[in-house]
Amino acid sequence: MTTDDINTLCIYLLLEEQILYQNLIFLLVAYHLLVRTTSRKRKRGSNTTAFGIIARVPDQITHMNRLVGVSDVDCLANLRMDRNTFGRLCILLRDQGGLSDGRYIKVEEQVAIFLSILAHHKKNRVVRFDFWRSGQTVSKFVHLVLKAILKLHVTLLVKPVPVPEDCTDNRWRWFKGCLGALDGTYINVQVNNVDKPRYRTRKGQISTNTLAVCDRDMKFVYVLPGWEGSAADSRILRDALRREHGLRVPKGNYYLCDNGYANSEGFLTPYKGIRYHLKEWGPNTARPQNAMELFNLRHSKARNVIERAFGIMKMRWGILRSSTFYPVKTQNRLIHCCFILNNFIRAEMPLDPIEQEFDQSCTNEQVDGDGDGEFIDGIDSSPVWNAERDAIAQAMWLNYLNNI
């Protein structure tokens, strides 16, 4: 057996031990409550039986076993991760997130409740019925798990690696020093009527404009939710650069952006007025006719990584596809949490069924969707950076002509 197999087996055994321990605790509590209830009934002389925790315990145990104790298929369908990843997440939340077992509910069930809400956007009354818990219990542990996951943002948000000089990936080898791509995406939210004009997007939806930055592997580097839907992308990026713990772009490196941003140091945008989107380069269209068209084509192929990341995110977490009834501050924290969990799942699951499903449905289409050193602190258009873009385009074009 390999080291990975041994680690996976240990996780399974640990998860099974936690479930067995939880079952034992439930049975002891049920026995204790049964004794107390019987004693009270004898004192009152009542023959009625109340529907309390005694009757709920077997169903609670059965539901948790079906979720994380039977097969990866059910675990993936309901919690958006396999059993091994779920077990590792629970361990991480115990060790680093500060999450602990409640008196009647274990960490595994707390996390399962939270993930089911994110995955399927279930309301409190639905979750309490599925897990045989009270609405107060569900609400309490949803906020506790949310707080614990947000504590992991330093660990789970990745640090990007620039494209090296010897890169052989045809999608990225033209963009030496590139760290990844960034863009904004609209996520519907529920706000008070007085705030709706500020959150109304150009498409008429009430949304928050969330800035996200990802590396070449679709792992997120930085996330900034909370801005109103009417805010411009460049304004949000400027705010991210000026925050104390905001986005950091080292000198000499850059991210790929669309034309919603200025072509400035640290942010490389395509040429305006030149065809750009991948659907404009179909099999029946002409090949690139000049350096600018070739640059836009390759820029679009590389920057499409952020669009795919957004598409997978919204397919994985149903709570991102429609507005919730939580306060705006809680909604923004839930959005941030979804991005953090996405990084964890991509790191722990080598094969992501959500990504495979997304690739089958959206092939070659864009989906609408701190350290030492000197960093970039502005996004004003720069002639020097325009010349840098022209140099990259000319290098692409000369290589293209030589290989025809």
Convert the pLDDT of each residue in 387-399 to its tens digit.
Answer: 888 888 888 888 8
Residue 162: the pLDDT is 94
Distances (CA, A) of 95 to 107, 218, 314: 12, 26, 29
User: DSSP secondary-structure letter at 63?
Assistant: H
Calculate the CA dihedral of residues 117, 118, 120, 126 and round it to 10 degrees.
10
Distance CA 318, CA 183 (A): 21
| pLDDT confidence band for 351 (50 / 70 / 90) | confident
Residue 45: the pLDDT is 46
Mean pLDDT (whole number) for 25-34: 58
| pLDDT confidence band for 46 (50 / 70 / 90) | very low
- Out of 138-147, 209-218, 373-382, pick the least confident: 373-382
> Is the Cβ–Cβ distance between 339 and 220 less than 8 Å?
yes
Distance CA 128, CA 390 (A): 59
Distances (CA, A) of 327 to 212, 257, 323, 332, 334: 22, 31, 11, 9, 11
Distances (CA, A) of 31 to 21, 50, 106: 15, 15, 18
Helix (H) or strand (E) holding 96: none
Q: What is the bridge-based pairing of β-strands 254-256 and 267-268? A: parallel
| pLDDT confidence band for 364 (50 / 70 / 90) | very low
β-pair partners for 345: none
Residue 9: the pLDDT is 55
Q: Which residues contact 299 (CB under 8 A, 6 or more apart)?
A: 256, 268, 270, 276
Mean pLDDT (whole number) for 327-349: 93
Tokens 């019987």 belong to residue: 38
Q: How many CB atoms lie within 10 A of CB 366?
A: 19
Distance CA 319, CA 8 (A): 30
pLDDT at 272 over 70: yes
> Is the Cβ–Cβ distance between 208 and 331 less than 8 Å?
yes
Q: Which residues of 67-89 are buried (b: 16+ CB within 10 A; e: fewer)?
A: bbbeebeebbebbbbbbbbbbbb
Q: Which residues contact 362 (CB under 8 A, 6 or more apart)?
A: 308, 311
Q: Domain boundaries in the chain?
A: 3-151, 178-402
Residue 401: the pLDDT is 82
User: DSSP secondary-structure letter at 270?
Assistant: P
Residue 372: the pLDDT is 47
Tokens 């701190």 belong to residue: 370
Mean pLDDT (whole number) for 26-43: 55
- Out of 45-59, 154-168, 321-335, pick the least confident: 45-59
Distance CA 142, CA 22 (A): 19
Phi, psi of 356 (to 5 degrees): -65, -40
> Is the Cβ–Cβ distance between 201 and 229 less than 8 Å?
yes
> Is the Cβ–Cβ distance between 386 and 264 less than 8 Å?
no
- Out of 19-28, 75-84, 95-104, 363-372, pick the least confident: 363-372
> Is the Cβ–Cβ distance between 382 and 263 less than 8 Å?
yes
Q: Which residue has the higher pLDDT, 94 or 354?
A: 94
pLDDT at 10 over 90: no
pLDDT at 2 over 90: no
Mean pLDDT (whole number) for 203-210: 92
Distance CA 16, CA 272 (A): 57
Distance CA 357, CA 344 (A): 19
| pLDDT confidence band for 186 (50 / 70 / 90) | very high
Residue 273: the pLDDT is 84
